[in-house]
Amino acid sequence: MCNLLSAAFYIDPTTTNYVIQILVGVAVAVSAVIGIFGNKLKRLLFKKKSGDETPAAELAGSKNEKKDISAAELLADDSDETKG
């Protein structure tokens, strides 16, 4: 009777490994969710006034002003640097 009771509670090392992998995966997923949504929540709560633009907001506005650069312009810049 005692052997049957102890055999019922035996956990294989492979099963323990799977449980550890599951717990680590859940911990990584929860920390990612907290990091992503925590950052968004922090920005929402501590939003600056509309008159105060951050450098990131200024850069976002300049993204629309793209200039196409040709290979010839890149090569001309490299040759200017080597001469100077």
Note the pLDDT tens digit of each residue in 41-83: 888 888 876 655 555 555 555 555 677 888 888 787 666 555 5
29 within a domain of the structure (yes/no): yes
16 within a domain of the structure (yes/no): yes
40 within a domain of the structure (yes/no): yes
Instruction: Look up residue 50 and give its two tokens.
Output: 């509309």
Quick check: 25 and 17 in contact, CB under 8 A? no
Residue range of the domain that includes 43: 11-47
Angstrom distances, CA of residue 61 to CA of 18, 39, 54, 64, 83: 49, 22, 11, 6, 35
Quick check: 62 and 56 in contact, CB under 8 A? no
Please give the residue that has the higher pLDDT: either 13 or 62. 13
22 within a domain of the structure (yes/no): yes
Work out how many domains the chain is built from and give that number.
1
pTM given for the model: 0.43
- What pLDDT shows up at residue 71? 80
30 within a domain of the structure (yes/no): yes
H or E element in which residue 54 lies: none
79 within a domain of the structure (yes/no): no
Instruction: Look up residue 71 and give its two tokens.
Output: 């290979």
Distance, CA of 26 to CA of 6 (rounded, Å): 30
